[in-house]
Structure 1
Amino acid sequence: MAEQARGWSGDLLDLDAYLARTGYEGERAPTLAALRGLQRAHVTSIPFENVNALLGKPVALDLETVQERLVRGGRGGYCYEHVVLFAAALERLGFEFTPLIGRVTLGSDKILPATHALIAVRPADDDRLWLCDVGFGAGPLEPIEIADGVEVDLDGWRFRMVRGETTLGVDQWWLHQYGQDGWAHRHTFTLTPQYPIDYAVGSHFVSTHSRSPFTARLFVQKFTATHHHQLDATTWRTFRPDGSATERKIEPAELGRVLADEFGITVEAAELAHLEQGLASA
């Protein structure tokens, strides 16, 4: 059950700048309609990227640092940064919510660390509990009700929510996504509340550990209603709601243009040089 979250620095958020960055022009109230609009605006405007982690730079989660990068700096971030920013906006607008932690599966049975940040939200005008997954880099465009068997089609992108096995009285939830090979579970989570310190611990692992994929190679994503662009090192894939996809390799020298033009990410010249060198030597 969602609770009134605390400690997410909503009072420090430059709300006007955040809404301008995302292009959201709807009502500023804790309603379901606003929640849907806020998530759609966020996931289609702020990209996913791991540049700082790859370059060995600290990934600070204090709100001022996060909004300086994601709102004012023309950059993106990974799930913890996205959720910290989104939680601040929800707190500022008066939503009742609980930040969560999930375990990415991507259809595999392999047990991976629980390092994916999510939010459960209960709007003021709706009794249902909604999952906001704004930091995965691949949608969904809008919140999904946390209820067993719920299936949604959001501009052709299909998702469903499934309640899994219950362990010691704790429900396990699975978010499934429909893709080229049919339905596959994307991640699993419980409704155990998380706090900023919990995210700090998870983010430290993701951004520094030698076994984290984000310290090993460049990974960037840009999601819209019609396309999901994904850059994995030099492999650039574009997925569409109908399941079709294209793929090509980019040259290291193309990286700056591709990041700016296709993913909306501007990196400093020195950072770009390091990234290009890493791609060339991979």
Structure 2
Amino acid sequence: MSTFLWSADELDLDAYLARIGYEGPVRPDLATLRAVHRAHVAAIPFENLEVILGRPVLLDLKSLQDKMVAQRRGGYCYEQNSLLAAALERIGFSVTGLGARVRMRADRMRPVTHMALRVEADGEAWLCDVGFGGEGLVEPLRLVDGEQAVQGAWTYALAHEGDGVHVLRTLGPEGWTDVYAFGPEQRFPVDYGQMNYYTSTHPDSPFVSRVIVQQTGPDVRRALVGPVLVVTRPDGPAEQRVVTEAELAEALRSEFGIGLGPEDEETLARVYRSRT
């Protein structure tokens, strides 16, 4: 039986690093952790297209590598953070899974459905998360009460609410906004399998009814939610435009670097039309 919790022995690390465009040192230290996290966020977009295409979201490492590395697709939190966890584990980091309640744009308490990671580097714990999408981290954030960091054009902070609960926050034009809250409980790959089933199938899940594709860069955020593409920069108002069915495949390629085969493009366009 493998001793790797995140199946790191099954990972083609060289192929993963090439996919994210990382060419630096590969050591279990903070500099490597920051650089790999930043490169992953820049290279692999958040997307729920498998759900919209009517296919199951597979979390075994072979499927994750095939989709996000070989096919150069994106994924949502369980896919992306599971892939990152395997890569970090292979490099030699200690990686612990976390579960979070998303608060952004929530008008009520949501279930624990988001995956994030706690990673040990240079004697400290760091919050790592390459799978949140639009308002997600660019780099790891030190897991210390009151921590605040500027990452590119974006500012993040970590607040403590008691009972071990921490809240990731982001600073916008109107002030601080809660992104998600998470506790200290360790989560395992089997836990994310249950969360993934809910997220990809339950009618209350925001991911089953519309296309959601997002990416955070150091100075720009892009989000396609339903038919509306929003491009946000810190120094001006957000730019918005409607993406038509005929424009969808090109928008995915040009804005997010996602290329689909002809059959998937046709299926996605049909579903997109019916839901917009």
TM-score with structure 2 setting the length? 0.95
Cα distance between partner residues in 2 of 1:147 and 1:141: 17
- Secondary structure of 1:44 counterpart: helix
Match of 2:14 in 1: 16
1:149 and 1:16, CA in 2 relative to 1: closer, same or farther beyond 3 A?
A: same
**Superposed, which structure 2 residues align to 1:270-281 within 5 Å?**
270-281=263-274
Q: Is the 8 A contact 1:67 1:85 kept in 2?
A: yes
Match of 2:119 in 1: 121
- Secondary structure of 2:249 counterpart: helix
1:99 to 91, 97, 100: 97
Cα distance between partner residues in 2 of 1:106 and 1:122: 27
Q: Which structure 2 residue ranges, 5 or more long, are not aligned?
A: none
CA RMSD, 1 decimal: 1.4
Q: Is the 8 A contact 1:156 1:242 kept in 2?
A: no
Cα distance between partner residues in 1 of 2:211 and 2:82: 22
Match of 1:7 in 2: 5
- Secondary structure of 1:221 counterpart: strand
Match of 1:76 in 2: 74
Q: Is the 8 A contact 2:212 2:223 kept in 1?
A: yes
Cα distance between partner residues in 2 of 1:110 and 1:121: 30
Query: Which residue type is aligned with residue 175 of structure 1?
Result: L
**Superposed, which structure 2 residues align to 1:35-54 within 5 Å?**
35-54=33-52
> Structure 1 residue 212 and structure 2 residue 209: aligned?
no
Which portions of structure 1, spanning 4 or more consecutive aligned residues, are displaced by more than 4 angstroms? none
State the Cα distance separating 1:31 from its structure 2 match. Answer: 0.1
State the Cα distance separating 1:24 from its structure 2 match. Answer: 1.1
Match of 2:138 in 1: 141
Cα distance between partner residues in 1 of 2:234 and 2:116: 23
Residue identity (%): 42
- Secondary structure of 1:115 counterpart: strand
Q: How many residues get paired?
A: 272
Q: Deviation string for 1:210-247 (max 9, x for gaps)?
A: 21111100000122112111001110001113463111
State the Cα distance separating 1:127 from its structure 2 match. Answer: 2.0
- Secondary structure of 1:274 counterpart: helix
1:215 and 1:109, CA in 2 relative to 1: closer, same or farther beyond 3 A?
A: closer
Instruction: After superposing the two structures, state which structure 1 stretch, 234-243 or 8-17, moved more.
Output: 234-243
Match of 1:222 in 2: 215
Instruction: After superposing the two structures, state which structure 1 stretch, 247-256 or 138-147, moved more.
Output: 138-147
1:243 and 1:85, CA in 2 relative to 1: closer, same or farther beyond 3 A?
A: farther
Match of 2:247 in 1: 254
TM-score with structure 1 setting the length? 0.93
State the Cα distance separating 1:180 from its structure 2 match. Answer: 3.1
Q: Is the 8 A contact 1:100 1:191 kept in 2?
A: yes
1:256 and 1:109, CA in 2 relative to 1: closer, same or farther beyond 3 A?
A: closer
Query: Which residue type is aligned with residue 174 of structure 1?
Result: V
- Secondary structure of 1:178 counterpart: strand
Q: Is the 8 A contact 2:167 2:182 kept in 1?
A: yes
